[in-house]
């Protein structure tokens, strides 16, 4: 409608998202999400819920040229698929066809409550991982809920029971910078450019930096890591389905994690 503002920033509308990822591509990418063994069976993670949630986040999957848009969607679904995977090495259709299997953190998770006056934990509520990005901790549920207009401190399980809220939690995390880190969105769209200290830490533009943002303290900076390889495997598969090259710097094995000093390698 308003081409001047849309074109000058390179931002599209959510209506454009359907041209980046169609319903059939979505179903192919998340092929086994409704498998009997998966919590999400019954189509909890639906295409319509995803598109509906994305409407609240201007620029998500609609920023830049076609390559940038496709890479963002591939990267978003790769990272979230790793967090929710039900796959195993010899799984039917391969391990990377089993993203979006789980709604809630597996095992017997704790309450993930860090005492906070700004984001106080509600009595009896637990803030373990839920939804596509497995959002956890009260200090993430609080600001996420504020941003999307839902009281997630008192109702954290909405992230595992309401499909649109579930997707919104993941897209919120994807779009929101957490200092000193860029947003995942900023990296994949090229808005983030490495500083001198980033370059010294081998944090160069690419999928690897996104893994560093999400879980770098545990997964990056120590050479090969199976979790990182799983994220990359999903990303490559999804890039293939979307018809885009994955770009460079996919791994973070040689990147220093954000917020870590030079001593990280010697400890």
Which residues are paired to 130 by β-bridges? 104, 135
Dihedrals phi, psi of 104, to nearest 5 degrees: -120, 150
Note whether 212 and 266 are within 8 A (CB): no
Length, in residues, of the chain? 267
Closest CA to 260 of 203, 210, 177: 203
Token pair recorded at residue 69: 């848009």
Q: How far is residue 267 CA from its own chain's centroid?
A: 29
Q: How many CB atoms lie within 10 A of CB 80?
A: 26
Burial of 24 (0-12, 13-18, 19+ CB in 10 A): exposed
Q: Which residue has the tokens 């001198």?
A: 196
Which SS3 state, helix, strand or coil, does residue 265 take? helix
Torsion of CA 40, 41, 45, 46, to 10 degrees: -170
- Please list the alpha-helical segments (H only) found in 155-195: 158-161, 163-175, 184-188
Give the catalytic positions in this structure: 83
Instruction: State how far the Cα of 154 lies from the Cα of 260, in Å rounded to an integer.
Output: 33
Instruction: State how far the Cα of 202 lies from the Cα of 190, in Å rounded to an integer.
Output: 16
């Amino acid at each position: 409608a308003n081409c001047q503002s849309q074109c000058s920033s390179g931002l599209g509308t959510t209506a454009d998202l359907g041209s980046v990822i169609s319903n059939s591509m979505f179903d192919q990418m998340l092929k086994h999400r409704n498998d009997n063994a998966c919590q999400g069976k019954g189509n909890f993670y639906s295409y319509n819920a995803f598109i509906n949630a994305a409407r609240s986040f201007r620029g998500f999957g609609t920023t830049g040229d076609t390559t940038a848009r496709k890479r963002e969607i591939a990267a978003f679904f790769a990272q979230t698929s790793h967090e929710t995977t039900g796959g195993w090495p010899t799984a039917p259709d391969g391990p990377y066809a089993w993203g979006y299997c789980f709604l809630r953190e597996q095992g017997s998770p704790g309450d993930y409550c860090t005492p906070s006056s700004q984001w106080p934990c509600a009595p009896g509520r637990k803030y373990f991982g839920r939804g596509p990005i497995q959002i956890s901790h009260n200090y993430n549920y609080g600001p996420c809920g504020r941003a999307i207009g839902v009281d997630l401190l008192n109702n954290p399980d909405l992230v595992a029971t309401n499909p649109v809220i579930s997707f919104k939690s993941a897209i919120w995390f994807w779009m929101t910078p957490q200092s000193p880190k860029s947003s995942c969105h900023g990296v994949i769209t090229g808005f983030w450019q490495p500083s001198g200290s980033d370059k010294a830490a081998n944090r160069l533009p690419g999928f690897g930096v996104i893994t560093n943002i999400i879980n770098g303290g545990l997964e990056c900076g120590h050479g090969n890591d199976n979790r990182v390889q799983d994220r990359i495997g999903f990303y490559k598969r999804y890039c293939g389905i979307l018809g885009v090259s994955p770009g460079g710097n996919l791994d973070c094995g040689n990147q220093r994690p954000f917020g870590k000093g030079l001593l990280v390698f010697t400890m």
